[in-house]
Structure 1
Amino acid sequence: MGKLALAKSGASRRNAASRKRKAKASETGASAFQDLVTFFKSPIGERLIVLEIFIFTVMTLMVFILYRKELKKREELQVAMDMIRTVVVETDPIYEDKDDLEILAAAQNISEEMQYFANLNDQLQKEIGSWTDAQKNCEQEGARLISVETREEQYFINKQVERHQKFFWIGVFKDKGKKWSWLSGMEAAVHYWNYYEPNYEANHDCVAVSYDCYYGKCWMAFECDLQIHYICKKVPNDTWL
């Protein structure tokens, strides 16, 4: 009985000690929470809360701005890609169903080809001559007065002519049937006549590109004997208009 009583007494003391520790811990936790509440109610605590809210707001705003910028960048890239695709497909419809990488590769090839023709024209371009002399001089170089196959090519020529601030003969003339035709004999169905052109003055039967254009339309009819500059184009014979 003595041992049993001692055991119960020991257990009772341990339980009492455990309850005291729990009570103390509870008091400590409550005290810490109360201290925290008191701190946040203090001027320093209030400033800290305001600062944290401000930092959170700024970070949220920055994330939103970066997100909008990324969206705008993607939209601009898509617009640029759509423009490139339009130019490439207009140049050659075979690229209509190609993906973006193939379109970019095609655009690079077209750009290099245009640069090649630009360099070639610089080599073949002479000083001045009548339309007939210009054609003969081009033929001596294995070329012809330039023909225009696409709107992009015409706009490219316009820019070069504008840069030189001169008039340049191209390969369009009025044939015996009084129709405007290319040197190949094909009618110039697609044309880029300047304002009030073609004029109906006598003997204005040959076409030049003007540096002063009307909305990208630069063709003008002149007398074929006029001495001006000219542009030659050298491509395989079976590709001439």
Structure 2
Amino acid sequence: MGVEMIRSFIIGLDSYYEDKDDFQILDAAQNLSEKMKDFADLNDEIKRVNEVIIGNLQAGWMIYNRNLYLITRDKNTWWESRRECQKEGSELVSIETQEEQILA
């Protein structure tokens, strides 16, 4: 009865499996199950990244051109600023375009 339920489900997804034996149906179900787990893991990672981004935005970071920037008025040396950035898992940027300069 369980295999028939799985068969019905798999064939409902893809009629290719209509004439396949139980082992092929169960293999397809296993592959589908693994893909669903991969998607669930990916979804968890996306949620984690979103939480980090939201936290950064709430802490004063800004989005520009698909990048996050934190602009501070701290008076540090370049090396101190770089070290602070690296502690945050980021890099100290060099402003290279007029658009970035306007953002700053």
Which of these two proteins has the greater Rg computed from alpha carbons?
1
- When normalised by structure 1's length, the TM-score is 0.20
- When normalised by structure 2's length, the TM-score is 0.45
The structure that is strand-richer by fraction is: 1
Choose between structure 1 and 2 for higher RCO, CA contacts under 8 A separated by at least 6 residues.
Answer: 1
The structure that is helix-richer by fraction is: 2
